[in-house]
Amino acid sequence: MTGATPPGWGVVALNHDARETFDRALRNAREAAFARDEFVGQESFMPASEILRLGESADIAPGSTVLDVCCGVGGPGLLLARRFGCAYHGVDASAAAVRIARERTGDLDCHFAVHAVPPLPAGRYDVVVLLETLLAFENKDSIFRAVHEVLPVGGRFAFTAEEGNPLTMAERRLMPEPDTVWPVPMVELLSQLSNVGLRVTWQDDCSAAHAEMARRLHDEFLADANDIVRQIGRQAHDSLLASHRLWGEWLNSGRVRKYAFVAEKVPDAGPNRRADPTVLS
């Protein structure tokens, strides 16, 4: 995974040197789309309040070691570090994204590195975070196994996932960059987590809120079209609008549902180990 742009949001593939241009081009529209104090530099549908709720549910606290996988330009991770006082490590395959994140770190205990995943960086972390990018991995089992390897027993995996059946051929033709769009049925998602020894302890349905954010972002990207097109080009802008329109439709209709999860690493019970895959109510 390149990490060059957020997956499945219709951004025509950018080389890493263009990341700063893209971040700058969309910033005003993103700030306008989110409610007050909810925009923290994220490249996603998640407002700050959802990011913090996920961090609290994963028991991030002062002194916790946190690995943020596919951290992008660091907005959510810097928010977590600032609010919870954790020791934060962010990795992304995009050198430009990591450069932006480092520039925004200030005096926080945050470290960023260029690293394509899987595998994950060696070490042990109390919490692994994967926000808004599981969608891009067709083979989610490889990510879950990599997360399991770096967590101690009792360590937490905090992530978001797009739940639903794989795209049809007709849907793939509509969605820009469909090779980064791999929703997963809930039964399969929970089974894969269980098989590697990760047990879901918390979940939150974000579908309605993210459908609304897709609509608001679409409308702000459209309203700011002249400035955005000037910086990133007509093709990228059209792709951005098309993908956000589709995400809004799919989330509103239930074609795809959006969840935030926390899963805990359970003790190894041997070759027949399985975590409880039950969906929480």
Question: Domain locations in the chain?
Answer: 16-265
- Backbone phi and psi for residue 131, each to the nearest 5 degrees, phi listed first: -105, 125
| pLDDT at position 260 over 70 | yes
Residue 166: CB atoms within 10 Å? 12
Asked if 66 and 88 touch (Cβ cutoff 8 Å), the reply is: yes
| pLDDT score for 240 | 96
181: how many CB neighbours lie within 10 A of its CB?
24
Sign for the pseudo-dihedral over CA of 67, 151, 48, 166: positive
For 51-72, what is the mean pLDDT? 97
End-to-end CA distance of the chain: 33
Q: What is the pLDDT of residue 2?
A: 38
For residues 194-204, average pLDDT: 98
d(CA 262, CA 269): 21
- 247, containing H or E segment: helix 234-253
**If one looks up domain 16-265 in CATH, what number appears?**
3.40.50.150
Distance CA 241, CA 220 (A): 10
User: Does the structure show a pLDDT above 90 at 130?
Assistant: yes
Residue 131 reports pLDDT greater than 70: yes
* Candidate from 106-115, 194-203, 265-274 with smallest mean pLDDT: 265-274
Q: Is 130 helix (H, G, I), strand (E, B) or coil?
A: strand
pLDDT at residue 32 greater than cutoff 60: yes
Mean pLDDT of 27-41: 97
* Per-residue pLDDT at 174: 96
> What is the pLDDT, as a whole number, of residue 276?
58
* 95 and 114 Cβ atoms separated by less than 8 Å: yes
**What does the radius of gyration of the chain's CA atoms come to, in whole angstroms?**
18
pTM assigned to the model: 0.92
In 3D space, the residue among 79, 123, 124 whose CA is nearest the CA of residue 101 turns out to be 79
Mean pLDDT of the chain: 92
Q: Are 257 and 161 in contact (CB under 8 A)?
A: no
Q: Is 237 a residue whose pLDDT tops 80?
A: yes
